[in-house]
Amino acid sequence: MPRVIKKKTKKKNTGVETEVADRLFGIKDRLKEKQKTIVSYGVAASAALVIIAAFIFYQYSESEKANRIEYEAYKVYYNEYQKQPMSNQDRYQKALDLFQQAYNRKKSARLLLYIASADMELGKYDDALKSLDQLTKNYAGDKDITPL
């Protein structure tokens, strides 16, 4: 009868396992030692993210407000969608005020052009020239508005 060959079982190498466990405990110990530093960096990073998000939201809301005011100014300037028609003097004065409010919130060459136009319609030629001068100085590179 054939004889069964005995298989020798290998002994586990416990040296490697203990070495890995020692390294893991070493990492845990270093994290506990530097926990205060890690927390402070985390708080600083999260505070920076909150500040950046708040700034972006503020810019977006200001831009939206400026766009709404600008749209209202266009409606008044062109006398569209108005419940009661206004006299030209009142209409241009109200449009000028709205255009200036929109320009104070969000600078734009187009708004300066409309401010100058409203000033001209009101007979304020010096103010219109100042607005146009500011337009050519600040927005010389704007190829859409400057040729006008």
Q: Half-sphere exposure of 125 toward its Cβ, with a 13 Å CA cutoff?
A: 0
Q: Half-sphere exposure of 112 toward its Cβ, with a 13 Å CA cutoff?
A: 20
pLDDT of residue 11: 64
pLDDT of residue 87: 83
pLDDT of residue 44: 95
CA dihedral 28→32→34→37, nearest 10 degrees, is 130
pLDDT of residue 65: 92
CA nearest to 113, candidates 102, 105, 91: 102
pLDDT of residue 56: 96
Question: Can you spell out the DSSP letters for 25-65?
Answer: HHHHHHHHHTHHHHHHHHHHHHHHHHHHHHHHHHHHHHHHH
Please list the rounded mean pLDDT of every run of 10 residues in the chain (148 residues). 71 68 83 85 94 95 91 88 82 92 90 92 92 88 76
